[in-house]
Amino acid sequence: MSVETTTSPEVKKEPLFSKKNRKVLTDPLDDINPVTVQILGVCSALAVTTQIKPAIIMALGVTVVTAFSNLIIALIRDSIPGRIRMIVQLVIVALLVTIVDQLLKAYMFDVSKKLSVFVGLIITNCIVMGRLEAYAMSQKPWPSFLDGIGNGLGYGMILVVVAIIRELFGSGSLLGYKVVPQWLYDAGYSNNGLMMLPPAALFIIGIFIWIQRSRNRKLINAS
């Protein structure tokens, strides 16, 4: 990801969803996907994807935190002294994560219990800090905000697809509803216990990377 450093005084006002901004939003979904290309945030991707619901909530949490921390840092980027920028970033991320955590505890206590420490660990999620350092510190607030949303969605997309596969084959349900009919179990079908273990997520993400790179040739040797 190349970071443009010099911004010449703009003559014309850029439209809100210009081509460049749209690219900032959509690039993380495929070409620079945080999980399958940058291999970031894998730890939480293994832990929270046994069921779809926690995966969706986690994806939303990370998207919100990435987007708003990007926005806030981009707003104050000129007044942060270079030497303590990491601490400033951490304080802002921690603040947002605490808000998300408290909201989950207040309104979705069961999901919050399932996600356990992984909500708190968004603070150390490499995607958040990575985007702050690589993007928000040198870009305007609006593109930074879009970049945060894009990366959160790129992460969340992988999370939800992995969770769908794991819940379907591991528990025979989707979002908690049984979808594998009883006659199939009677015929000898059995839920796959491996899918409930973290290695399954690693295999699935590995297969994603395989498929993505055989489809998108420019990723080979790019990372």
Partner 1 sequence: MKFLRRIVDTVKPHFSKGGKFEKLHPAFDALETFLFVPATTTKEGVHVRDAIDLKRTMVTVIIALIPTVIFGMWNTGYQHHLAYGMEVSIMENFMFGFWKVLPIIIVSYAVGLGVEFIFAITKGHQISEGYLVTGLLIPLTLPVTIPLWMVGLAAIFCTLIGKEIFGGTGMNFMNPALLARIFLFFAFPAYMSGDIWTDLSPEAGQAIVDAYSGATNLVTFDADQTKLPSAANMFWGFEQGSIGETSVAACLIGAFILVATGIGSWQIIFSCFAGAWLMGVLLNVLAPADMPTHAMHTPAYYHWLMGGFAFGAVYMATDPVSAAQTETGKWIYGLLIGAFTVILRVFNPAYPEGVMLSILLMNVFASLIDHIVVERHIKRRLKKVSSE
Residues that bind partner 1 (CB under 8 A): 188-190, 192-195, 197, 199, 203, 206-207, 210
Q: Which C-beta is closer to partner 1: that of 176 or that of 199? A: 199
Closest contact distance (angstroms) between CB of 166 and partner 1 is 12
Q: Which of 65, 47, 32, 33 is nearest to 163 (CA)?
A: 47
Distance (Å, whole) CA 109 – CA 128: 24
Closest contact distance (angstroms) between CB of 199 and partner 1 is 8
Q: Which C-beta is closer to partner 1: that of 74 or that of 205? A: 205
Q: Which C-beta is closer to partner 1: that of 82 or that of 188? A: 188
Q: Which C-beta is closer to partner 1: that of 32 or that of 180? A: 180
Closest contact distance (angstroms) between CB of 195 and partner 1 is 7
- Is 75:94 a contact under the CB 8 Å cutoff? no
Closest contact distance (angstroms) between CB of 188 and partner 1 is 5
- Is 118:48 a contact under the CB 8 Å cutoff? yes
Closest contact distance (angstroms) between CB of 192 and partner 1 is 5
CA distances from 43 to 17, 20, 202 (A): 33, 31, 10
List helix spans (H) across the chain.
19-26, 42-47, 52-76, 85-107, 109-115, 117-120, 126-134, 141-171, 182-186, 198-215
CA distances from 21 to 76, 153, 160, 191 (A): 20, 15, 25, 44
Q: Which C-beta is closer to partner 1: that of 17 or that of 210? A: 210
